[in-house]
Structure 1
Amino acid sequence: MVDSSSYGLLQYFQKLSDEEFQRFKELLQKEPQKFKLKPLSWTKIENISKEDLVMQLYTHYPRQVWAMVLNLFLQVNRKDLSTMAQIERRDKQNKYKEFMRNLFQHIWTSETNTYMPDRSYNIIIDRQYKALLDIFDSESDPTTAVVLGTRGKGKTVFLRKAMLDWASGVLLQNRFHYVFFFSVFSLNKTTELSLAELISSKLPECSETLDDILSNPKRVLFVLDGFDYLKFELELRTNLCNDWRKRLPTQNVLSSLLQKIMLPECSLLLELGESSCSKIIPLLQNPREIIMLGLSEQSIYFYCVSFFKIQLGVEVFKDLKKNEPLFTLCSNPSMLWMICSSLMWGHYSREEVISSSESTSAIHTIFIVSAFKSIFDLGSSKYKRSQLKTLCTLAAEGMWKQVYVFDSEDLRRNKIYESNKTVWLKMKFLQIQGNNIMFYHSTLQWYFATLFYFLKQDKDTYHPVIGSLPQLLGEIYAHKQNQWTHAETFFFGIATKHVLALLKPCFGNISFKTVREEIIRYLKSLSQPECNEKLMHPKKLFFCLIENQEERFVNQVMNLFEEITVDISDSDDLGAAEYSLLRASKLKILHLHIQKKVFSEIYDPEYGSLENFKLDQKFSAINWTRLSILFCNLRVLDLDSCHFNEKVIEVLCHSLSPTPTMPLTVFKLQRLFCSFMTNFGDGSLFCTFLQIPQLKYLNLYGTDLSNDVVEMLCSALKCSTCGVEELLLGKCDISSEACGIIATFLINSKVKHLSLVENPLKNKGVMLLCKMLKDPSCVLESLMLSYCCLTFIACGHLYEALLSNKHLSLLDLGSNFLEDVGVNLLCEALKYPNCTLKELW
């Protein structure tokens, strides 16, 4: 019996006469060759029934079946069937579009709430919209695109608008016949499924069969949203499958789709946030990027005049613009929505709800308190607190279970009944998604989940799913990215006198003492040498401290650390590092990696607007100047892969230079790493840090050094106060000529360990070094020369040097072309009693 999914094709075969069907089968022998496919054997199809032929075609040519059949209908003079089939397929495709248009029109008007006319929103996303068109309209091959941006920047809203426009017939009509939109976090409770089941869940009854839809996968686009909240780990090349009908663990289905093992000819459009980006990008094939940059000043204006009546909106916009810290927060659409909502409630109640400078946590608190006042203004604080606690418990349970879509049982279990749900929907704390419920915005779930730990009391009933505060801190600070990484900011933001003062009139006294004590206790344990767990995300901790900004507490946290590693990727990161590290009075070791964007002097549109780029340049320069102050008090400074410009190097030199109030003897720097640095300026940096008498170790591994730069370095090493004993110049592209410069300086230097590994020194360079080794004043004890393009000829020079040198005890010649002749020469040298060498690698 023919499968129901293939019935659409069978109905056309039934309209063929026996003679036409026989001719169809004969022509079928040649048709697959046009697609470079193997034809079905004549013995197999000579007497086959129409039902069985349909099955054979879908089995052997699933992606070409309709193209082949429509062409063959023409060849048997049944143009009417070809036309009829195309019209029917197009009608079914249009019915799917109509179904999606109605669905996403409802989502757009009821759940998205941009609070502005579509024409204004279209202006805001014009750049991203053009990028989407450029990526998919210009490509006929399968394409993968990712929408990137920090939380709350409008990635999901953008995708919903794209889906609505496609379904409305104004976007990518010539490219895709089917677009499927999935929020992947809604699968968190689903342990096993097939892609066929997933697609079928989105299809109305009048749609084409799955076989027909996927017979042309180039015309199919999957839009996948919400990877930040997906609880499954999607792994590279693990348990993948190409069968879209087969039931598999949910993560295997998603991994197979993303890695183009399943339906490799389809296209993908993904929304990736901060947590998921680093995990998902490696799974994708040549992804193209669309970046959501947040709202511009013009966009904020559009929003305000649309949210309020025009005159009031203009006044609100002007007031916000006067308040620079608050206006900066408004570039985030979700924050702007909360600010405007709070101002609206304040306008009706004639209260001033937002002060001149508010943190993210304070804005959320003001929004929640304002919403409660609008509904429960006459209720007691005890009653309001009990109501708030149900929401907080639901949020915390969801976070621990990695659930973001709740059903009626989830609500009932947490004492949220139908009447409560109606109120929370009205207050915009919750929203409807299909038959289920979500928090109105993900940040609200994070906020309520965090607030749970401030409201929790010893007498509360034990909750089997919700972990303790120490367990939660472990999830945040000692583990890799997870569902709690965004919520950590609220722990520090709520634990302030200001935020608790905002909560008090509505919910009574709430203490932050327990939370603060647990934070300090846990971070202190991470800073201990014997602790197996380490602080995984110090940069995130820095932003948390900025959120708190209570000086005594911030100092208490930062004084727990003697060693910190931080990666600076933009101006905001540098500002957070400057604020926090300057309060780390016990810091001894700092590992700093600064990416190219931070101090770039060349504008790239990917960085945002030119105006913002210039502002970032200004603030980066200010923050770097402040941060550099602490370098003189460090024992170890590691500037690994840092991208500096001339001005930055100038500031660095100034920070490490003596002054009347800060003589060289006060500097504590002992070890300096400058690996893979892109710019050393004019060489003044060498003169600056090599004059520090306490500096004993200098590592420039991976930093290209020209002959002129080597000469400047060696000149600086001759400084009378220079005490460097270990000099690592591996992989610095040092030539044989530069070896002569190094050899000359080493004769009267204090350097005992020299590494020149992975440099093209060749035999000539070693010959020059050996002249230095023969000098009685050379105190070198170890010399590393692996991967230096040496042959047995170099061994002859080393043989002579080893016989006369009185200090060298270690020589590394690994991975060179010495041959037996060279090794024998070295062994001969080792036999001499006056040879001091103890280790030969």
Structure 2
Amino acid sequence: MEAGRLPVLSGFRLYLLLWELDKEEFQVFKAMLGERYQELTHCALPPGELQRASRSQLVLLLHESCVAPVVWGITGRILEDMGLPALALMVQQEMRREVQGYSRLQVEDSRKVNTEQGPEEKETSGYKDHVLTRFSQELAGRAEADPMGGLDVQALAGAFDPDLQGFRPGTVVLHTPSGPTRWDLSLRVLNCWAQGTLFHNLFSYVFLLSAGELRRLGEQSLGDLIARAWPDYQVPVAKILSQPQRLLFVMDRLEELGEGWCEERAVLCVDGGERRPAPALVHSLLRRVLLPECSLLLTTTNAGVRQLKCVVVSPRYLVVGGLSMESGTEPADQTLTGRYAAFLLHQLAPGKLATLRALCSLAVHGLWGERSLFPGQQLQAHGLLEAEAEALVHSGLLSKQEGGYAFLHSSFHAFFAALFYTVEALGPQGQGPHGRLRPKLAPQPGLASLLPWVRRFLFGFLSPGVASVLEAQLGSPVSPALQPLLRRWISGLGAAPANALDAFHLLFETQDAAFVRRALSGVQHVQLSIGRGADLLVSTFCLQSCPELRSLHINIRHLFLPDELPEPSLASPCGPGTMANLRAQWENFCSMLSTHHSLLQLHLGSSVLSEWATKMLCVQLRRPACSLEGLILKDAEVSGLRHLWPVLATQRHWRQVDLASTALCDRDLESAREALKHPRCSLTSLRLDSCALSFAGARTLSQALTSLTSLSLARNKLAAQTLQPICDALRSPQCSLRRLILASCGLTDAACRLLALALMSNCSLTHLCLADNALGTDGLHPLCRPLRLPGSTLQRLVLNRCHLDVTSCGLLMLALMSNSSLTHLSLCANPLGDGGLRLLCEALQVPVCGIQDLELASCSLTQASGLHLACVLAQSQQLQSLDLAANALGDLGVAKLCKGLKPEYGSLRRLGLEACGLTSECCAVLSSTLSCNRYLTSLNLLRNDFSPSGVATLCSAFAHPSCGLHVIGLWKQQYPPPVRKLLEETQQQKPQLTIRDDWYSLEEDDRYWWKN
């Protein structure tokens, strides 16, 4: 290619664009250009010339150094980073022009090579004529106005073009939807190549390898496979294989080869003449061991992509859409049902309502009869003559097999079955061979693959566009009984938010915002696992019609992840479903998030976001209409966090950001500090758990404690030196921090001493979590000193799993006896023993002690502790919540404890006795106590060994008018049906009573503040 063919006009356009930059911006552009050029091309521009260059000189310098597409690619990235979106958009438009021109020149070059080295034109033409003849029947009835075969094939035109770095892929993987259209696409590739409209100058030969056919073959050589596709017996195998760079293999349905064909230990084939099992030949081609210079075009689904990723070498991935429409007809809408309706009804001759009625009747009887193959006499029984069946085979709706006829694809079967229940002219409404269509269809094995399709089509028939097409073509409206039935199907979404994506795909088919709004009324929390662009599309549509949405939990995997589904390069085709479409879908999704009026919290935990995806999200979240108050990125893999900090500096609503387990560098923390100092920043809560906080990062972060009220540094290794700047900030009068979480930070005795000194001077901190640090008595000792000070502000202290023992309890006892501010103390999973508890009980009985909530789960307590606790309950006017879960109190210990639950002692509201070794022996005394206690409102009895008679005894107490319980922890399923029925009846007698197996999750107060 001549180096000067593109730069003339291209250089002039770049020159004009550079004049859009002012003097200061132009200098910034040149400085960034020096860095980016070397980063992307691995070559350096002369720094002296770059620094002195004017606009015209810079254009000449760039176009002397590299081809135009690379120049525009680098320019666009720099302008985006400079925050000049309008100019960046101009660059994107220019890039499309340059890439097309660059590809055209490469094709012209390849044409020259073809005239010099290619095979005889007569020989090639003969094979192309054979391809056109061979596939004409399968593509019959699908004539298209566009010879390229619709948008899906158009998107392939540049599939093998080089990217901006000049890399040309040898393998292209087409990520397609499941269904018959994948095979249709493979046939069209060969058909369009033979017509000269696709890959005409790139490949002399294109061969189709279908996994379904390969699986039935015995041992073959690659030459044998080529010979099978050749029109006569004189096959020029040697000539074809001698120019592999001019050879393309289209491989379809590789997942049908079964398990184990692509294992690492498989023996590969290197010779095109060697006879091997066909799967071994395919594996060898994919591994680039056999004929490495040839090109491969693979069509596969989600499952196939996961299987192929460890086999293919340096592939380019493209995502293609579903059915392309025939004869230039646009679908009624962009839904799957709309496309199927336009495609399938188009295959039927006009006015053939009787044929359609017969098809629908056949399909619905096959659905309920678990039958997919229909003998000729069965077709006649449903009103379908054999001649009509043959016509349907020709049109691509049925296939003829040994023993009868079948629908060409199971989705076709499902479509006509759903149509039977929908259109009044085709069948009795809601009635089938087994009665009315039911919301909960039985999951029989024979129905498993059809029911999801049926359900989706039923929703799709509600779409105004599809309904009008059906009424126009069939002369009969969609049944009005369909809407209420489908609304009942979707009504369980609020109770099971984890299933939201499946429901969203169904709702999207309706294209009816009012229907979606009614269906999602009352839904406040939604969970989504997004892995495809289609998931973004349907989620955007449904969430914007979810009026009461408060929190959204999204897990985005394999959408932006390079090693799962790499983003196509800028030279890749930008048709439907490719990267351009994905960008648009992501932008629309982010725009919806930023404008949703009721959405308060966005959870992207465990998601994987690329640089551009993060930037797009942050750009949208900066919009004034954004009402979000919290963003959670816990465990997310996020590139480009630098785009997040400007959002913090401009959004007045934002209160909480969780960046736990994200890869933060010191520079990120510096940006965060500057954002927190911004007068418009309202952020008060920041979680940086497991972020490998360094000393420099801690020092930077310490300067932000004048604005933050909550900070979590859990699971960061904080040596005394690293903790020092945080403690210094805590001692400052300007410190506003109220909550500090230092769980699992490896705190040493020295670090504890630093923290104790800070607490003695701090006047703001009210919540402190030191869980999962091996404090022991030595670490706890200095921390108890500030607790004994009159001015101590600490209200909640968490010391779970801190290696505390009896001696430690002695230190705590002294502190609690003089502290009235500490109200919540959690000591779970420490080996306190009965001796340690006795010391704590002495402090709890002192009037000045302010403890209201005491968590003692798994503290090695026995029945001996029951009496000490009863004494506390009898004397303390403060203690309201006591959790004793996973302690061996036993029946005797609980009997002693009940002495402190008499009606005259009315302070305790919440009692946890989960897994305390209780049996039916204690049910009588427990029932007697509960029957007359109006104050205790919450009781946990999970994981205890109560007999049915014991539960019956307890139920008499639960139902007693003087029993004040509202929440009871019991697992109903562990008891026989009569006991479960008794528990249900008890709840019916007292509507305010809830019996559930998730006692802890019912708490709505601030008890577990360090986990939220």
Paired residue secondary structure (2:548): coil
Q: Is the 8 A contact 1:561 1:586 kept in 2?
A: yes
Paired residue secondary structure (1:535): helix
1:829 is the counterpart of 2:763: no
1:608 is the counterpart of 2:549: no
Q: Is the 8 A contact 2:365 2:433 kept in 1?
A: no
1:389 is matched by which residue type in structure 2?
C
Q: Is the 8 A contact 1:240 1:255 kept in 2?
A: no
CA 1:413–1:738 in structure 2 vs 1: closer, same or farther (change >3 Å)? farther
2:622 aligned residue: 653
Paired residue secondary structure (1:605): coil
Q: Determine the C-alpha separation between the residues in 2 that align with 1:362 and 1:744.
A: 58
1:733-772 aligned within 5 A: 734-746=693-705, 749-751=708-710, 753-755=712-714, 757=716, 764-772=721-729
1:157 is the counterpart of 2:187: yes
1:628 is matched by which residue type in structure 2?
S
1:493 is the counterpart of 2:460: yes
1:535 is the counterpart of 2:499: yes
1:767, distance to aligned residue in structure 2 (A): 2.9
2:541 is matched by which residue type in structure 1?
Y
1:90 aligned residue: none
Q: Is the 8 A contact 1:564 1:590 kept in 2?
A: yes
1:165, distance to aligned residue in structure 2 (A): 8.5
1:701 is the counterpart of 2:662: yes
1:494, distance to aligned residue in structure 2 (A): 1.3
1:783, distance to aligned residue in structure 2 (A): 0.8
1:446, distance to aligned residue in structure 2 (A): 5.8
1:559 is matched by which residue type in structure 2?
S
TM-score, length-scaled by structure 1: 0.56
Q: 2:350 aligns with which of 374, 382, 385?
A: 374
Q: 2:648 aligns with which of 655, 664, 686?
A: 686
2:979 aligned residue: none
CA 1:683–1:555 in structure 2 vs 1: closer, same or farther (change >3 Å)? same
Q: 1:630 aligns with which of 583, 591, 596?
A: 596
Q: 1:800 aligns with which of 728, 753, 775?
A: 753
1:834 is matched by which residue type in structure 2?
C
Q: Determine the C-alpha separation between the residues in 1 that align with 2:348 and 2:231.
A: 43
Q: Determine the C-alpha separation between the residues in 1 that align with 2:439 and 2:742.
A: 52
After superposition, the C-alpha distances for 1:786-836 in whole angstroms (9 at most, x for unaligned) are: 5xxx9xxx84641422554656442557xxxxxxxxx8x977334668278
1:423 aligned residue: 391
1:184 is matched by which residue type in structure 2?
A
After superposition, the C-alpha distances for 1:687-714 in whole angstroms (9 at most, x for unaligned) are: 4557556x59675833555343131254
Q: Is the 8 A contact 2:752 2:779 kept in 1?
A: yes
Q: Is the 8 A contact 1:96 1:204 kept in 2?
A: no
Count of residues in correspondence between the two structures: 630
Q: Determine the C-alpha separation between the residues in 1 that align with 2:729 and 2:739.
A: 9
Q: Is the 8 A contact 1:221 1:266 kept in 2?
A: no
Point out the structure with max Rg over C-alpha: 2
Q: 2:327 aligns with which of 337, 343, 354?
A: 337
1:339, distance to aligned residue in structure 2 (A): 2.2
Q: Determine the C-alpha separation between the residues in 2 that align with 1:221 and 1:520.
A: 49
After superposition, the C-alpha distances for 1:502-534 in whole angstroms (9 at most, x for unaligned) are: 4457657575566555544444345425x9xx4
1:275, distance to aligned residue in structure 2 (A): 4.0
CA 1:627–1:473 in structure 2 vs 1: closer, same or farther (change >3 Å)? farther
1:782 is matched by which residue type in structure 2?
I
Q: Determine the C-alpha separation between the residues in 1 that align with 2:276 and 2:642.
A: 58
Q: Is the 8 A contact 1:810 1:838 kept in 2?
A: yes
Q: Determine the C-alpha separation between the residues in 1 that align with 2:581 and 2:231.
A: 55
CA 1:449–1:115 in structure 2 vs 1: closer, same or farther (change >3 Å)? same
Paired residue secondary structure (2:135): helix
TM-score, length-scaled by structure 2: 0.48
Moved more, 196-205 or 544-553: 196-205
Q: Is the 8 A contact 1:701 1:728 kept in 2?
A: no
Q: Determine the C-alpha separation between the residues in 2 that align with 1:524 and 1:657.
A: 29
Which residues of structure 1 form unaligned runs of 5+?
A: 1-93, 295-331, 341-353, 659-666, 814-822
1:751, distance to aligned residue in structure 2 (A): 2.0
After superposition, the C-alpha distances for 1:168-197 in whole angstroms (9 at most, x for unaligned) are: 9988889x8xx763433568xx8x875559
Q: 1:286 aligns with which of 313, 329, 334?
A: 313
1:476, distance to aligned residue in structure 2 (A): 15
1:422, distance to aligned residue in structure 2 (A): 3.0
Paired residue secondary structure (1:564): strand
Q: Determine the C-alpha separation between the residues in 2 that align with 1:231 and 1:556.
A: 45
Name the % identity.
Answer: 15
1:580 is the counterpart of 2:551: no
CA 1:651–1:132 in structure 2 vs 1: closer, same or farther (change >3 Å)? closer
1:184 aligned residue: 211
Moved more, 125-134 or 732-741: 125-134
Q: Is the 8 A contact 1:293 1:608 kept in 2?
A: no
1:711 is the counterpart of 2:673: yes
Q: Determine the C-alpha separation between the residues in 2 that align with 1:686 and 1:476.
A: 54
1:261-272 aligned within 5 A: 269-272=296-299
Paired residue secondary structure (2:621): helix
1:553 aligned residue: 515
1:147, distance to aligned residue in structure 2 (A): 3.4
After superposition, the C-alpha distances for 1:282-322 in whole angstroms (9 at most, x for unaligned) are: 2422252374768xxxxxxxxxxxxxxxxxxxxxxxxxxxx
1:581, distance to aligned residue in structure 2 (A): 0.6
Paired residue secondary structure (2:572): helix
Paired residue secondary structure (2:518): helix
Q: Is the 8 A contact 1:430 1:440 kept in 2?
A: yes
1:419, distance to aligned residue in structure 2 (A): 1.0
1:785, distance to aligned residue in structure 2 (A): 6.2
More helix, by proportion: 1
Q: Determine the C-alpha separation between the residues in 2 that align with 1:367 and 1:123.
A: 15
1:38 aligned residue: none
Q: Determine the C-alpha separation between the residues in 1 that align with 2:151 and 2:623.
A: 46
1:728, distance to aligned residue in structure 2 (A): 1.8
1:829 is matched by which residue type in structure 2?
G
Paired residue secondary structure (2:742): strand
Q: 1:386 aligns with which of 357, 361, 367?
A: 357
1:410, distance to aligned residue in structure 2 (A): 9.9
2:325 is matched by which residue type in structure 1?
M
After superposition, the C-alpha distances for 1:418-449 in whole angstroms (9 at most, x for unaligned) are: 31223324655457899998867997566335
1:590, distance to aligned residue in structure 2 (A): 0.8
Q: Is the 8 A contact 1:798 1:826 kept in 2?
A: no
After superposition, the C-alpha distances for 1:230-261 in whole angstroms (9 at most, x for unaligned) are: 596779749967799899xx9x8799678759
CA 1:399–1:700 in structure 2 vs 1: closer, same or farther (change >3 Å)? farther
Q: Is the 8 A contact 2:603 2:633 kept in 1?
A: yes
Q: Determine the C-alpha separation between the residues in 2 that align with 1:171 and 1:415.
A: 51
CA 1:149–1:569 in structure 2 vs 1: closer, same or farther (change >3 Å)? same
CA 1:216–1:537 in structure 2 vs 1: closer, same or farther (change >3 Å)? farther
Q: 1:810 aligns with which of 766, 770, 773?
A: 770
Paired residue secondary structure (1:586): coil
Paired residue secondary structure (2:662): coil
Paired residue secondary structure (2:549): coil
Q: 1:447 aligns with which of 408, 412, 415?
A: 415
